[in-house]
Amino acid sequence: MSTSTIDVQQLAINTIRTLSMDAVQAANSGHPGTPMALAPLTYAIWNNHLNYDPATPNWMGRDRFVLSCGHASMLLYSMIHLAEVSATDKNENPTDKISISIDDIKNFRQQHSPCAGHPEYGYAAGIETTTGPLGQGLGNSVGMAIAGKWLAATYDRPGYELFDYDTYTVCSDGDIMEGIGNEAASLAGHLKLSNLCWIYDDNEITIEGRTELAFSENVAARFEALGWQVITVTDANDLKALNSAYDQFKKCQDRPTLIIAKSIIGFGAPNKQDTSGAHGSPLGEEEIKLAKENYQWEAEKFHVPGEVYDDFRAGIGARGKQAYAVWAEKFEAYKNEFPKEAAEVEAIQSGELPTGWQDSIPTFDADEKGMATRVSSGKVLQKVCKAIPWFIGGSADLAGSNKSNNDDPDAGHFGANDFSGKNFHFGIREHVMAAICNGMSLSGIRAYGATFFVFTDYLRPSLRLSSIMHQPVFYIMTHDSIGLGEDGPTHQPVEHMAACRAIPNVLTMRPGDANEVAKCYQAAIENDKRPTVIVLSRQDMPTFDRSKFGSADGVLKGAYVLQDCDGTPDAILIGTGSEVPICVQAAAELEESGVKTRVVSMPCWKLFDEQSDQYRESVLPKSVTNRVAVEAGIKMGWEKYIGSEGKFIGMDSFGGSAPFEVLYEQFGITPAKVAEAAKP
């Protein structure tokens, strides 16, 4: 390597550092220390190893780069700018503009800048996922690696290796400490995801001080025990050692790789051991001046030397352009050789669904005994999985109970010995299941994850990020209420409907019979910019005779008139899930007493709220104030639909351990109690 090459590499590294310092200082907010320390490490990935075309940032065959330590966001923004990643339009096609400009960096953490405090997916091309809560990026990266393995096993053919991409993830002590990080590492090791590389910034610093305050484990030994290849780089500034480590990762074919890079936070800053400036706040003008003197940097703020752009153009720019050209040519030949598979790949890339997939949504015959909605959900799932081959997922150890297996004999089980399997086994790892589904979704897969509804407590942070990123992850949640019975209060989710409904942009659905389940699936899949939580019963529920009751198509509008009376009703009963049949029984009792009664099924508040004023008035006329809502959960939020004069039949405490019939009687969720509440 010539002296000039070494000099330009160091110049590029120092440019990353100075851009980070200047941006954080201008914002008077943020973390410059980690970008300063990790500039060499990240430079080496991007300019020497990342198989990525800046001119085609959404190329399906690209390597992925995830900055799990999102507080170091300026590191990512600097790389996107220096690599001159193209901006994309609303259809994700590249434009002639740069994704992140110098002006964007100057406005770091300011309104309307794509350079948010933590990386936000969708703000700028080159940001592969939203990372803020530590550990989430690790879970997402496992999902991306899984997607790569599945896509390759499903669509690659001899001579047509389209999906041999790798996922690089930079992480911090915080990512490694968080429980989700260990869940992700455990599953990745078990699955032998050789296309996954985590680079751990071992700087022994957290916001409170030295890691020895709370963390003393042998990380290398832990990861080796989890089935990872572990490589240690003793100096994060040593480009030769870093490049060697990345080469070792790419050669390893039987396990994921952890590179432990020893760094000094805020490297180059005069008080480099003082975390107050390097990690948690701007350095200050005086320390920036001293740091730049250490770099022999005399340029103005936000300066990028022309040689640095040239270096990236000659590195990732030229390498990526060539790699994409080869891939694109290969894919054109693939389209001629394998048109069916190519059409599916293009649909995955564009987010489109197969023509006529809605025809797979089944219709269930009327049945007084009926079935649990978890059972009807399983039946609908089989049809949808067959219609949409990339609608794939699995359960956190409860597939038999929540009916989430794809029963097609050819579906198979995803694992180290068969990456083409469509049934995923996440183990008892609810949180990382959701984060992995996010990573799969970000890779074009229509992913679903399943568990008991009460365990949304464990996965809620990742569900929240599904929503923030507008990812259509499908959450199959069973054992929805006190109706699960004997397992008792710990497993009975009385407050969870309110908690999930509170998350913006999430469709939370609780269907009232098998045909409502089917329509919930349709609504969820058609809503491709937000996640859905479908909440399903353990106990059987009748399947309504739709020749006598309202069409289940009303589910697509969130709520509808299931059963009506002649003229203006004296009372409106509103139910969800297993309480809809209770409302129907109560209505019969009320009608016998001369009370004209309407029954409204309201499986999804959010969809109903999005309907026109006229439609909502047609279902819940303002003139009828005698309303009773019935749900085996807490009242929170129902006030909006029942008004100040309405009543609520449900829970205001935790449940109990007994057969579900006994519990419904104990807590007063019965037709008689509903009818009593509704009588004028």
Active site residues: 430
CA 25 from centre of chain: 32
Beta strands in 6-77 (DSSP E): 64-67
What is the C-alpha R_g of the chain?
28
- Crossing angle between the packed helical segments 136-155 and 430-442, to the nearest 10 degrees: 60
Strand, coil or helix: 498: helix
DSSP-assigned beta bridge partners for residue 425: 395
Distances (CA, A) of 34 to 14, 30, 206, 656: 13, 11, 11, 50
Distances (CA, A) of 44 to 50, 51, 581: 9, 12, 62
Residue 644 in contact with residue 590, Cβ under 8 Å? no
Euclidean distance between CA atoms 195 and 175, whole angstroms: 20
The structure tokens 């080496």 sit at 44
Strand, coil or helix: 424: strand
CA 653 from centre of chain: 31
**Hey, what are 325's tokens?**
């050209």
> Which of 171, 128, 126 is CA-nearest to residue 469?
128
Strand, coil or helix: 613: helix
> Which of 627, 643, 630, 629 is CA-nearest to residue 680?
627
**Hey, what are 274's tokens?**
């003082």
**Hey, what are 624's tokens?**
């009828």
* Element of type H or E holding 423: strand 423-425
Distances (CA, A) of 320 to 57, 59, 98, 346, 623: 10, 10, 16, 21, 65
Q: How many CA atoms lie within 13 A of 203 on its CB side?
A: 31
CA dihedral 607→612→615→618, nearest 10 degrees, is 120
Euclidean distance between CA atoms 158 and 386, whole angstroms: 25
Residue 650 in contact with residue 629, Cβ under 8 Å? yes
| Neighbour-count burial for 501-514, b at 16+ CB within 10 Å, e otherwise | bebeebbbbbbbbb
Please name the residues in contact with 475: beta carbons below 8 A apart, sequence gap of 6 or more. Answer: 434, 448, 449, 450, 456, 459, 463, 531, 532, 533, 534
* Element of type H or E holding 54: none
Residue 99 amino acid letter: S
> Which of 280, 233, 203, 284 is CA-nearest to residue 37?
203
Residue 313 in contact with residue 71, Cβ under 8 Å? no
Euclidean distance between CA atoms 366 and 35, whole angstroms: 62
Euclidean distance between CA atoms 232 and 476, whole angstroms: 41
The structure tokens 């100075």 sit at 18
Beta strands in 491-591 (DSSP E): 507-509, 532-535, 540-543, 560-563, 571-575
Residue 323 amino acid letter: A
Residue 555 in contact with residue 519, Cβ under 8 Å? yes
